[in-house]
Structure 1
């Protein structure tokens, strides 16, 4: 073999070696526990979804567990910022959602990350149905009745949220603007704490996932006025959508898995495949589609990336129109 040909072959092998090494490394992932940071406290819908994912994770992940770690606060940006500082090796993941991934950067506060570039989207997990609730001692039985009362008494009623920029705040602020009412935001740490505030009469209203509040709704401890999405809610078929009162209103509570920026594509594909397998198990489908009444999404990392980009375009425009600012 001539020297030039020999060097060409060796050079090609050298270029190919890192790709083979990365693929081999991705195939062996994980070889230790994986951490999933969640933006809310224990008991909320996002926390429950994460634990439903963790229950089926190890059987597809070399026997390694998915450890859920709650990092509530600052509209989800505390958890998000913690993840973006980690190595992009797949061992520190994040339950992405609309607040820290598509909204918080336009609320006025300076973030330690740019949501356009700080994350590697991995998989869109599910969309959870949510509902407008009020405490049962209030006399209003429809959303239209409550809106009419709020218009007559601006600032009298309050609503619970899980933080400025969290979807529970964003969606209610959007509802307020679309309805032309003025409700006061009171911050709690999770959906379960928000529900407790309604039960105690500390909060007048809130938007909470159906899975978090279904038991209390059926027992009459809180009253469901309307669903946030246009589609009927499987577990509350008699509760109309907000769109019946405010035409065109349609929002989704979405969650997905993301990691720090710069993750190897082969590793992303490996992790994406594992979570898609988890989502197809009967246990996960019963827990997520059944108990949480959620729409399982799944799909490729590229599809989730495109979805987040669409949210990054949609919600900042809404925030500016609504006038939400960091408190």
Structure 2
């Protein structure tokens, strides 16, 4: 075992048990999910964050690659009450500093009261509190990570399910979970996946039926190229988005987004549909939200706990977005029908609406 220190915004330092050595800065956030640690740790939306698990035991059912949402662990550091040896071995292979044997209840309460905080971790045989404080000093605000898209997006165009008989989806990868791709492919869609900074010409070259903006980490205002794609293809084809994708679509169409105090991260967030009054439980992982949908989009779903926007639609322009993760993994499958709704927007006899 190693020494371990966690320095949080304001200069407070917490001592724990070091499980994986290393030093790192990151935004300190927490998830309330009690299962799905493999999916959470491989979710690109946790890039540049230090993830605290509120559930006390992490790693109790092993590590299976088939559950991964991407090809690597994305949080820059991991904190838990107790980490099993198997998950420590995985995090060690990934080079991700890890700390346990501290009171995560107090830490989560601090985050809820103070908001997501800048943080620094130092783990090792000879580390000191000052090492953790140095990492804290080096920690940047999430909005300052202007290049975060390049850290989580694919580098070149990839096709999934090339022989699919369903619609062709022009998919903008801002840090997509693999389960989103799977959910579209399971419905026999062909997914033409592009980097977050793809051009309109790149997208047009595959002649898609639908533009889809994925989830991803950080401040949506740092995904300006994805915004421009939404602007350019508005009215030419239906548009959909998940999580960061909803925020990008809203910003592109005259809306606004804001940073939340501590965000939504877990698998039990209740969402109410304003049209049907149906409430579903959802999986969420985001620190920003749409504060103003603008004039084109209408709010169709709200978070039951805090009233934030969870769904935006435009019947005129064929747009559907969701702030939560309908594909879940981990979490409930209450909202899987979102993918059916998205693909149903593509019909042969629908005439495109041309934007002014």
Instruction: Give TM-score scaled by structure 2 length.
Output: 0.27
- Indicate the structure (1 or 2) with the bigger Cα radius of gyration: 1
More strand by share: 2
Q: What is the TM-score normalised by the length of structure 1?
A: 0.29
More helix as a share of residues: 1
